[in-house]
Each structure stands twice: as structure tokens, then as C-alpha cells.
A = this chain, B = another copy of it.
């Protein structure tokens, strides 16, 4: 019997394609959606459409945003002489939550990864170069993650920016997270934390 796929089965299949949503979770979500109120379901579907349709990419920092330029790039009270380079929009959110940075951002949308065949062309490094050529940037903080690919990307950015004599290139500090417990961290984290020690005065 070559029967058409039913609406529940269809929704389970679609949800199952999303990252981190296994078949059990997809099933649970689908049945939950069926039991939601009509208006809530319409609202959810509408939010999905709207997020895709109304989200723009900021032409300066390349982050996703509600407007172009984004709120951060168009905020004159933020220091545009210092750019923090991050891998993803989620990293911008994390940085903003920390309230510790008042400069501008640049979102790479990925990392250089020789193993995954990702080159500098696959991230927004060219756009970063243009910003530095056009603007009055004094420092670039590379805040890619402390992974092999994140470090490779940081090194690459350092190399192509070296030619700008007055530009400071820094890497975000790595070590133990505040509140962390030494015994739970791996050797490399601890070793990095030891190397990044600073004199107390």
C-alpha cells in the first residue's frame, strides 16, 4: 500500500531534520504541538516565518539583526576603534550578556577548518579586512573558541593583519572559568591557565 504521509508523521519528519532533534524528541514535540491551542500553533508558525523573513544581515559586522546596520554597529556611544571577532551570533549574545565589552563586533559565521574543507573564503574575513582598511580600527580582539579550528582561524587572522603596523591584534584570555573547580578541568585548560597567569599586585 503506497499511502500518503499523514500530517503528524510529516511534522515529525520535518522536526527530526533540525539539529539536535532526534526522532523521539521530534515525536514528543509533534504531539505537544497537536495539543496546543490553535492560536499558539499559528503564533509559533508565524514566528518561524517572521524570523526568517525579517532577519537581516548587518553589512558591517555580518551579524544577524533586525536592521542594517545593526543596533550595535549604529550605536555611536560604542567604541568603533576596537573590534571583537567571534565565530557566531550566539557568541555576540554571550559577550553582550557579560557587559564587559563596549567596542564593535565582527561575526565570522564559522571557522577555518582544513579538515572540514573550510577556507578563509567560507568565513567573513574579507569583510573584516575591508573594515580595517576603511576605518580607524586600533585593536582587533580575536575571540574565536579555544579549539583547533578556532586557534587556526585566530592565527590566520593574525597573519593577514600583521601588515598594519599600528594595529594591535590580541587573543581573548583563556584559562579556568570563574567559579570553576580545578579538579574538573582537563590538562590543556589547566596548562593554558598556568601559562596565562598574571602577577598579583
Interface residues of A (CB under 8 A from B): 6-8, 10-11, 14-15, 18-21, 24-25, 27-34, 36, 38, 41-55, 64-66, 88-90, 93, 183-184
Contact = CB atoms under 8 A, between A and B. Distances in A.
A93 B28 CA distance: 12
B38 A29 contact: no
Contacts of A45: 45-46, 48-49
Contacts of A34: 51-52, 55, 64
A68 to B, nearest CB: 13
Contacts of A90: 27-28, 31
A20 B28 CA distance: 9
Contacts of A24: 183-184
